[in-house]
């Protein structure tokens, strides 16, 4: 007989393992980056013979890491939205209402009315909103923020405004996973179950 477990916990653990494994790989690309940073690369068999080859391998590694970050943020956003919509739908069913098509805003309203709380006051809500913005930025504009940021030079003279890309890192992705856990722990109701 299979053990009943939470699908939500399973999904979070999969994302954590995916992120950790993606950065634990030791191949010609990651070795180059590590050795390039320590400046002891000339003895290693994977070290490229030309600067152009070195540049290419580093670009490939950075592109790979960018794909990993995109996947992590897309999945985190999907988990949050799924759980919010699932919880709001279960509330509608409990109230003998026909489930409606939900978005994040509608789900917030239903959950807040049912439990008498402000979702924006839950721990890590701002981080959840940032995860949503990052996922949407990668989905719609290759990671470019939707708001313009002021540009200054070294003497703080204003140079104008431009849009910037989100700066993602392994540590930021790990903290985002932890933030989702904290937010979901504070969200009332049960998380999605794995069916037997």
Could you tell me if residue 78 is inside a domain? yes
- Among 26-30, 37-41, 65-69, the range scoring the smallest mean pLDDT is 37-41
Residues whose CB is less than 8 angstroms from the CB of residue 38 and which lie 6 or more positions away in sequence, other chains included: none
Could you tell me if residue 20 is inside a domain? yes
Could you tell me if residue 159 is inside a domain? yes
- pLDDT confidence of residue 4: 42
Q: Number of C-alpha atoms within 13 angstroms, CB side, residue 31?
A: 11
Please determine, for residue 147, whether its predicted confidence score (pLDDT) is greater than 80: no
Could you tell me if residue 191 is inside a domain? no
Could you tell me if residue 87 is inside a domain? yes
- Domains of the chain: total: 1
Residues whose CB is less than 8 angstroms from the CB of residue 177 and which lie 6 or more positions away in sequence, other chains included: 12, 15, 16, 19, 72, 76
| pLDDT tens digits, one per residue of 126-136 | 999 999 999 98
- pLDDT confidence of residue 165: 77
Selected residue with higher pLDDT from 153 and 83 = 83
Look up the domain containing 169 and give its range: 7-186
Please determine, for residue 112, whether its predicted confidence score (pLDDT) is greater than 50: yes
Please determine, for residue 39, whether its predicted confidence score (pLDDT) is greater than 60: no
Selected residue with higher pLDDT from 161 and 140 = 140
Could you tell me if residue 2 is inside a domain? no
């Amino acid at each position: 007989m299979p053990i009943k477990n939470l699908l939500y916990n399973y999904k979070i653990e999969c994302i954590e393992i995916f992120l950790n494994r993606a950065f634990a790989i030791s191949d010609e690309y990651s070795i180059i980056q590590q050795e390039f940073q320590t400046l002891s690369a000339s003895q290693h068999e994977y070290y490229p013979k030309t600067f152009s080859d070195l540049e290419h391998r580093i670009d490939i590694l950075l592109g790979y890491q960018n794909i990993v970050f995109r996947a992590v943020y897309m999945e985190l956003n999907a988990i949050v939205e799924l759980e919010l919509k699932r919880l709001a739908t279960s509330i509608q069913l409990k109230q003998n209402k026909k489930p409606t098509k939900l978005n994040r805003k509608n789900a917030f309203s239903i959950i807040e009315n049912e439990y008498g709380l402000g979702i924006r006051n839950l721990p890590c809500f701002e981080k959840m909103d940032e995860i949503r913005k990052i996922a949407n930025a990668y989905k719609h504009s290759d990671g470019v923020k939707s708001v313009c940021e002021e540009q200054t030079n070294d003497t703080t003279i204003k140079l104008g405004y431009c849009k910037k890309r989100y700066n993602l890192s392994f540590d930021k992705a790990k903290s985002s996973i932890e933030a989702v856990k904290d937010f979901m722990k504070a969200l009332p109701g049960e998380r999605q179950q794995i069916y037997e």
